[in-house]
Amino acid sequence: MGSVNADLVVSVDRRPAPGETVLGSDLATYPGGKGANQAVAAARLGARTAILARIGDDGHGDLLRAALAEAGVDLGHLLVTPGPSGVALITVDPDGDNSIIVSPGANAHLAPSDLDSGLLSAAVVSFQLEIPLPTVEAAARTAAANGARVVLNLSPATAIPDDLLALCDPLVVNEHEAAFLLGARDDPASMATALLARGPRSVVITLGPEGALTADATGVTAVPSPKVEVVDTTGAGDAFTAALCLRLARGDTLADAARHAVRVGAAAVRKPGAQSSYPTADEPLPT
């Protein structure tokens, strides 16, 4: 459950300073949005996947619907809002790192009244924060009450109430998001322990090329990532979270699920775009 965006991507030699103009590559348009990315990545990996989201009735909406359908995502709860779809404006530098501005569009209209209790009874329900927080809160409570495992990717970083934190199993953050929640940056293991003390049932901190850390009742586990040539990091975190959710749904421990997820995330950075870079279930993963 989450956002569906059109990703408008330009490659640049360097990002502009305030008031500066730089030239970039031709504009490329890809299907994206954190919710859609995770749904597509999970479906491509072999998961039975559905999405609850909103798109606009514009041309971007047509592109986004087609991409989800091609990946095999159940679209029975993909709703249409009159007006524009969500759009992400993305610049990618020569190292493959990206900067992103999101215009929510139809995503901002996903409301608690759109929720479907049956859909929120899946083995795992994954949330992100490119949709309204009250909708995430209501859906997470419903999912937890239905016995689903609630996975929350705190992106973009936003203050969330303690009762929502308490439902997360795991809370998935990168180092910047972890520091935002804690109010200070520390070494990743210390931040994972501190986040766990805030109330979630488990925590995953993604560390880019260094892999990830998991923290739960069994302790903190470092999960290194395979080393690959980076082309574009856009959507790699979503590929990681999707793979994590899939393996948790199949009964893996958190650490084992993360070990698979870092390989999927590493595979995703080797190609441009988000959804277009995601591996299929039969594609060899980096080791």
Binding-site members for substrate are 5-7, 33-37, 130, 238
Residues at the binding site for ATP are: 174, 206-211, 237-238
The 3-state secondary structure of 10-54 reads EEECCCCCCCCCCCECCCEEEEECHHHHHHHHHHHCCCCCEEEEE
Beta pairing partners, 55 = 80
CA 73 to chain centre: 16
Residues at the binding site for K(+) are: 232, 234, 268, 271, 273, 277
Contacts of 81 (CB under 8 A, 6+ apart): 54, 55, 56, 57, 105, 106, 109
Type of residue at 50: A
Catalytic, out of 163, 187, 238, 256: 238
Which residue intervals of the chain are DSSP H helices? 34-44, 59-71, 133-145, 162-165, 175-182, 188-197, 236-249, 254-268
CA 267 to each of CA 8, 111, 227: distance values in angstroms, whole numbers, following the listed order: 22, 34, 10
Residues at the binding site are: 5-7, 33-37, 130, 174, 206-211, 232, 234, 237-238, 268, 271, 273, 277
Q: How many helices (H) and strands (E) does the chain have?
A: 8, 12
| Closest alpha carbon to 125 in 43, 178, 50, 219 | 50
Contacts of 159 (CB under 8 A, 6+ apart): 181
Cα 148 from Cα 158, distance rounded (Å):
23
State the burial class of residue 174 (Cβ atoms within 10 Å of its Cβ: 0-12, 13-18, 19+): buried
Q: Which two tokens stand for residue 209?
A: 């090329």
Cβ count within 10 A of residue 154: 23
Annotated active-site residue 58? The verdict is no
For the annotated catalytic residues, the residue numbers are 238
